[in-house]
Structure 1
Amino acid sequence: MSVTARYARAARKAQATGRIPALSVALRRADREPWIFTVGDSGNPDFPLDRDTRFRIGSVTKTFTAVLVLQARDQGLLDLDEPISAYLDVPAHGDATIRRLLSHTAGFQREAPGDIWDTLMPPSSAEMLAQLDRAERVLPHALRFHYSNLGLAVLGHLVARLHDTTWEKLLADRILDPLGLAATTVLPPAQAAVGYLVDAYSDAARPEPYLDAGGVAPAAQLWSTAADMATWGAFLASPETVDPDGAVLAATTLDEMRWPHTTRDETQWVSGFGLGLLLAPQGRRAVHVGHNGAMPGFLAGVYGRRGGEGVPAGLGCAVLGSSTTAAETLDLVHELLRLAVELDPADIEPWRPAAPAPREYRSALGTWWSEGSPFTFAWHAGALQARDADAPADLPPSIFAPIPDRPGVLRTVSGRETGELLRLTRDDTGAVARMHWATYRFTRLQDGFDGGLASDGPE
């Protein structure tokens, strides 16, 4: 069975097992044409199910809003650790910081005030902000994770206010147009699939009503195709393959967004949140980065895979389904990302000799000892690196960069002790004789904190 046949079989099984009226799937990687697959019936008599059928993506919308917020931060328009009252005139809860709202740790109640899911009449943006004094702070600020549509909706309007425009226009101008996500829209287009509630005890499927999210739009409004969303998943995990010039967001900022801020469950650390991004660890130092989405009649899973052995560059996947109840939709996206690595891993690049380390670092290479443990310092890919000699082979090394105008001092730019200084002390010949990393002493021989050699034993 071919690789794509395995993908298709997994999709067909999910659609049949989950009883999903329409399922659209896309798997995207930088070195292949995207694989797109559909199965089922759109429910739209004028537009049969195909790769251009549009589905509601629900809370995947939050990842777009989060990117808009980080764009504004990078422009100097806001500070993530400032309260929202610094930028919005709100009647209550103005002390909540932007960072805590992005990571769902601000304690905001889940929904905007009112029984939205009964009335299907969300407030407008102006109403939602004006009614914040009716919303509860269900948990103290920064106590723990609590998912909130309200919190992300507030941030969407905050960032729009900073640009003196609407969230919808800002989204199109700053993300959708630059990335070419032409099939991603705020309103349902003519080729939209019908969303269903599938009966638990029969094969009946009831069309669900359309809900315009109103003021909560920045948290849940968007429609899209699987192809667009697979590209978006790849952007979140590997922006250099989708936005190589950083026109939408700097790769370093997306690194920041992906750093985990909280787990979703105290006792099962199987998923967490960064800054607006859901993180699903996969073992072997791999993580799926993205978001799930749900709206009446629809479920969506949109993720990119990052880290781990064999992961192709720019690997993103989207699974969009027209049933509210089929958890298989959300499971399939992770299964396909795993299958892509298992069945069609990235090519192994051959090793080739390179230029030697600069003379000033050659005497720093080799084994050094600190706190009784060995560390290996090496020069690879044009940088000084270090790793604990006893660490697992798949643990990335620490990488150092020289600090201009500070000879013999380097900054740790990734890996263990990121941000800390490495100081090189040289002897009379100019060779590195001792190092201090994060102020810990590194020596060529195994010695104790008093400078005595381990090999000497007690005096």
Structure 2
Amino acid sequence: MNALDRLVRETQAQARIPALAAAVHRADRPLWTLSVGAEPEAAFRIGSVTKTFTAVLVMQARDEGLLDLDDPIGRHLEVPALGDLTIRRLLSHTSGIQREPYGDVWDTLVAPDAATLVADLERAERVLPPARRFHYSNLGVALLGLTVARMRGGTWAEVLADRVLGPLGLAGTSAVRPASATTGYLVDAYSDAAFPEPPLDFGAVGPAAQLWSTAADMAKWAAFLADPATVDPSGAVLAEATLDEMRWPLTTTDQGIWAAGFGLGLILVPRGDRVVHVGHDGAMPGFLAGVYGRPRALTGAPGPAGFGAAVLGASGTALETVDLPHKLLTAAIEADPAEIVPWTPGEPVPDRYRSVIGRWWSEGFEQVFGWYGGALRARGAADPAGKPPAIFRPSADNPDILRTVSGREVGELLRLTRDGEGRVVRMHWATYRLTRDQQTFEGRSFSA
């Protein structure tokens, strides 16, 4: 029994989960899957993992110029109240809107239709001021799904199938309960009895939690969220830069312990040593799910491309289900590391930037500039090994003015100053002076 098998079987037995399915997707290995108590192709409810799909639909609309993230929702959806809440705030759960639609959905198990959901906004509360703090809201994501559906001229489920599920080949994912659906259970806390839960249809709140899927599909989706350039190289679903934007933390989910953050529709879970997992957890009556990928771009260290894991469980109370994908990602890379790519010589430093290469000083700290991968890069001399460098691209009209395109001071300019012989003798980065020796802010040198 390998390490991944053992983790899944131990979790299923110890957490008393009637059915459990897990998968690990990585571009350099065959798909790994294991099901205990269910058929390999069984479908489970994935609950709020659905929100990541709705977030991608919103970002597609943004990229196509149909909306701006700072638009109020009322600009795109006719609502009787709360129309000033912005799309960005709704995506990041910082709008302050109440968690659920008006009424007692989880008591009656009757979800509103679109007309009712919108009409009842007049009775929905702003439980917090916008931008005050993280406050999870199914209602907010439901409004985003309804907005995108109306923009595209179809239902949310139709738009999702056409623009995401089809292009990525996620044939096992659906908004309707498939024939291969697993039953979800409540497992008695004081016996081994398991009681089936009803398969709730979430109606107009579907964009927040409606989907059914398989572990294999969700592992691929997790890999897409972490590394879209590998899973979707043509960018048919979403540009790599847009996923990177979604992964930037906009808030923490807890003030006291920064155990998780939230970006644009994505949960960000730090795992130590510059490792971050991105994805989402999900819960519906009788089901829990955890779907996470590990982006190489966030670690600053080599790792598998297209790396994601999913765990779907048919128990509504076994929280071990949502922790298991993180353990699987760690175990997969420890037990079977990615291949080591051999180093090969690259192009020489262009003459224009040869005098930039080497050590510089700024604000009393040493910076090291080099030329790698066809670009000028900079690192702090004391930076830890895993910290990504700053990368620069020359301006089109002046190669001595470069833009920082990633890393420290991203977006800022690096300006080169040359002497009469054309050598770079001084630089300014985000207006801070860089010199070849350590100097005070007044320009006093200690090397003489």
Alignment of structure 1 residues 313-332 onto 2, 5 Å: 313-332=305-324
Partner of 1:45: none
Aligned letter for 1:453? S
- Asked if 1:29 corresponds to 2:26, the answer is yes
Distance 1:439 1:35 in 2: 50
Aligned letter for 2:126? R
Q: CA RMSD for the aligned pairs?
A: 0.9
Partner of 2:290: 301
Alignment of structure 1 residues 182-261 onto 2, 5 Å: 182-261=171-250
SS in 2 for 1:454: coil
Partner of 1:417: 409
Distance 2:172 2:385 in 1: 42
Deviations 1:227-259 (A, max 9, x none): 000000000000011101111000000000000
| Unmatched runs of 5 consecutive residues or more in structure 1 | 41-48
Alignment of structure 1 residues 84-99 onto 2, 5 Å: 84-99=73-88
How high is the sequence identity, in percent, across the aligned residues?
A: 64
SS in 1 for 2:421: coil
Partner of 2:126: 137
Partner of 2:13: 16
Aligned letter for 2:407? G
Alignment of structure 1 residues 21-420 onto 2, 5 Å: 21-40=18-37, 49-307=38-296, 308=299, 309-420=301-412
Distance 2:8 2:277 in 1: 19
- Asked if 1:7 corresponds to 2:7, the answer is no
Question: Taking structure 1 as reference, are residues 311 and 56 closer, same or farther at Cα in structure 2, changes over 3 Å only?
Answer: same
Aligned partner (choices 432, 436, 443) of residue 444 of structure 1: 436
How far 1:452 sits from its partner (Å)? 1.2
Aligned letter for 2:18? P
Distance 1:51 1:151 in 2: 34
Aligned letter for 1:29? R
Distance 1:396 1:310 in 2: 11
Q: Residue 399 of structure 1 contacts residue 415 of structure 1 at CA under 8 Å; is this kept in 2?
A: yes
SS in 1 for 2:294: strand
Q: Residue 24 of structure 1 contacts residue 37 of structure 1 at CA under 8 Å; is this kept in 2?
A: yes
SS in 2 for 1:352: coil
SS in 1 for 2:356: coil
Q: Residue 241 of structure 1 contacts residue 313 of structure 1 at CA under 8 Å; is this kept in 2?
A: yes
How far 1:432 sits from its partner (Å)? 0.8
Aligned letter for 1:423? R
How far 1:118 sits from its partner (Å)? 1.1
Distance 1:298 1:84 in 2: 31
How far 1:279 sits from its partner (Å)? 0.6
Q: Residue 310 of structure 1 contacts residue 341 of structure 1 at CA under 8 Å; is this kept in 2?
A: no
Deviation above 3 Å: which 4+ runs of structure 1? 307-310
Aligned residues: 445
How far 1:407 sits from its partner (Å)? 3.0
Distance 1:278 1:353 in 2: 39
Q: Residue 277 of structure 2 contacts residue 293 of structure 2 at CA under 8 Å; is this kept in 1?
A: yes
Distance 1:197 1:252 in 2: 41
Distance 1:454 1:110 in 2: 60
How far 1:340 sits from its partner (Å)? 1.2
Q: Residue 28 of structure 1 contacts residue 234 of structure 1 at CA under 8 Å; is this kept in 2?
A: yes
SS in 1 for 2:12: helix
How far 1:343 sits from its partner (Å)? 1.2
How far 1:454 sits from its partner (Å)? 2.5
Deviations 1:326-350 (A, max 9, x none): 0110111110011112111111212
SS in 1 for 2:33: strand
Distance 2:437 2:7 in 1: 56
TM-score, normalization: structure 1? 0.96
Q: Residue 310 of structure 1 contacts residue 347 of structure 1 at CA under 8 Å; is this kept in 2?
A: no
How far 1:310 sits from its partner (Å)? 4.8
Distance 1:51 1:403 in 2: 53
SS in 1 for 2:161: helix
Distance 2:152 2:446 in 1: 63
Distance 1:265 1:355 in 2: 47
SS in 1 for 2:154: coil
